[in-house]
Amino acid sequence: MSQMPSTLFDKVWDAHVVRKIEDGPDVFFIDRHFIHEVTSPVAFLGLENRGLSVMFPEHTFATADHNTPTINQHLPVADPLSANQLKALENNSAKYGISHWGLGNPKNGIVHVVGPENGITLPGMTIVCGDSHTSTHGAFGAIAFGIGTSEVEMVLSSQCIMQPKPLKMRINVNGSLGKAVTPKDVTLYIISKLTTSGATGYFVEYAGDVFEKMSMEGRMTVCNMSIEMGARGGMIAPDETTFAYINGRELAPKGAAWDKALAYWKTLSTDAGAKFDVEFNFDASDIEPMITYGTNPGMGMGISKSIPKGIDLKGGTATYEKSLAYMGFEEKEQMIGKKVDFVFIGSCTNGRIEDFRAFASIIKGRKKAEHVTAWVVPGSHIVEAQIKEEGILDILTEAGFLLRQPGCSACLAMNDDKVPAGKYAVSTSNRNFEGRQGPGSRTMLASPLVAAAAAVTGYVTDPRELM
């Protein structure tokens, strides 16, 4: 090994290169592979057509999440196409000896929630899944990113994919976060500065005292959204917070294996003087609770501000005007006071226990606004159990909210949790694309605190006024 200072990303990437192809990608070894019902069936079909098998079934983990109902999960799934996909995942997992946490399994939940909470996700690993929010797992100092179905087939059949090494970006956020400013606001702020394609071609390391002080769940929220600025993934160096989170989780290393792993994990940080291709610095005190006003996650703003003028932004005004027209908003308008029809708290971005604690902190002692339909969807059964144990369910019930069962739900609206055309939703999920939450739906992305404030007032409201 050379003595050149190295980045966290380089250390993990270089340890997983099986072969370098000249004028081509690296053959890249994958430690952990998550699969779900939507992007895996065609990969298994591909294996069958080629007569191939799964090389390391013990490194692949299956969970059903994208296409599952969030009520009455004990009943047969009503939509025959959804039921068929769930059955295919179950059958394929059984056939190849892959562990499968299907509907009804106590470990079932959103893939990016259950991986970390069961100790499957560990520092220094390479982790992929046929889902772009696989970047979530980077919170542990892993290289984690989303792949397509052809690549799922590659991982199943050879535990490798072909990847050109991305460029390196570091984003430093230092200082103190203000009142009601959550990890979701930090990431929406960064994306609003970099735009929806500003990190395409890069792998991001998040650094600075804001991330050092952040909980693991907050770090997952930030890394989760890396893809929304085009980055393949984002990562944060593992530290005592990381080790404390992992220690004792069911599938995490134990005993001597833990000691050995821990010694390795402690080497996983960027050396002083290591070079990045590009670096950004932000001041935590500039960030306020955020909300999006347009149709990509880069179109976000501080909740007390006004919608910017298209002419002041980079990029074409035609696309900007199309986006505002879709939302039914106009330049220079305030977001505060806009009527909200739906509120969704959940998803791989904000579906963990800390998110529900934050939501409950605002709704406690208040009532859901009558005209608001709210979907409160835990990220997993483990989160659901925590909500009950901590008394959050009582707060929800008292305020007129119904707790649903785990799944991706209204984040992508593959199941019945769809926002109707023209209606406005404040959502803690990750994408506000046209029709993302149902054909014609209009999404405003925000934190659990902003979602809670909207749910009890029925309008876009600054959560600081309710705290």
Partner 1 sequence: MAYDKFTTLTSSAVPLPIENVDTDQIIPARFLKATKREAFGDNLFRDWRYNSDDSPKKDFVLNNPIYAGKILVGGNNFGSGSSREHAAWAIYDYGFRCVVSSFFADIFKNNAINMGILPVQVSPEFLIQIFSAIELDPNTKIEVSLPNQMITIQATGASESFEMNGYKKNNLINGFDDIDYLQAMKSEISAFAAERAV
Positions in 381-420 near partner 1 (CB under 8 A): 412-414
Q: Which is nearer to partner 1, 52 or 385 (CB)?
A: 52
Q: Rounded to the nearest 5°, which phi and psi values hold at 375?
A: -115, 115
Among 27, 262, 403, 466, binds partner 1 (CB under 8 A): 27
Out of 12, 35, 38, 110, point to the residue binding partner 1 (CB under 8 A): 38
Q: Show the tokens assigned to 346.
A: 């959940």
∠ CA 276-173-195, nearest 5°, is 75
Is 105 a binder of partner 1 (CB under 8 A)?
no
CB count within 10 Å of CB 282 equals 18
Site residues (CB under 8 A) for partner 1, limited to 241-300: 296
Q: What minimum distance in Å lies between the beta carbon of 33 and partner 1?
A: 13
Cβ proximity to partner 1: between 368 and 418 the closer is: 418
Footprint (CB under 8 A) of partner 1, residues 295-334: 296, 315-316, 319, 322
**Token pair 């996909």 in the structure block, residue:** 85
Q: Looking at beta carbons only, is 29 or 280 nearer to partner 1?
A: 29
Q: How far is the CB of 174 from partner 1 (least distance, A)?
A: 28
CA angle, residues 38, 58, 34, in degrees to nearest 5: 30
197 binds partner 1 (CB under 8 A): yes
Among 97, 104, 106, 164, binds partner 1 (CB under 8 A): 164
Spatial separation of the C-alpha atoms in residues 160 and 186, rounded to whole Å:
33
Report the chain's terminal Cα–Cα distance, integer Å: 53
Residue from 10, 65, 131, 462 touching partner 1 (CB under 8 A): that is: 131
> For residues 154 and 287, which CB has a smaller minimum distance to partner 1 in the complex?
154
Q: Extract the tokens encoding 213.
A: 């002080």
Burial class of residue 22 in the structure, from the number of CB atoms within 10 Å of its CB (0-12 exposed, 13-18 middle, 19+ buried): exposed
As given in the structure block, the two tokens for residue 172 are 């430093």
- Alpha-carbon distance 247 to 258, whole Å? 8
Could you tell me the smallest distance in angstroms from the CB atom of residue 197 to partner 1?
4
Q: Which of 115, 166, 378, 406 is in the footprint of partner 1 by CB under 8 A?
A: 166
The interface with partner 1 within residues 136-155 (CB under 8 A) comprises 146-151, 153-154
Q: Which positions from 417 through 456 interact with partner 1, judged by CB under 8 A?
A: 421, 431, 433-436, 439-440
Residues 45-104 that bind partner 1 (CB under 8 A): 45-46, 50, 52, 55-56, 66-67, 79, 81-82, 84-85, 88
- Sign for the CA dihedral angle at 318, 300, 224, 229 comes to positive
Candidates 31, 185, 288, 341; binder of partner 1 (CB under 8 A) is: 31
Phi–psi pair at 304, nearest 5 degrees: -90, -5
Distance CA 410, CA 175 (A): 34
Closest CB 119 distance from partner 1, rounded Å: 13
Q: Around Cβ 11, how many Cβ atoms within 10 Å?
A: 18
Among 97, 106, 201, 337, binds partner 1 (CB under 8 A): 201
Q: Is the dihedral of CA 86, 90, 96, 98 positive or negative?
A: positive
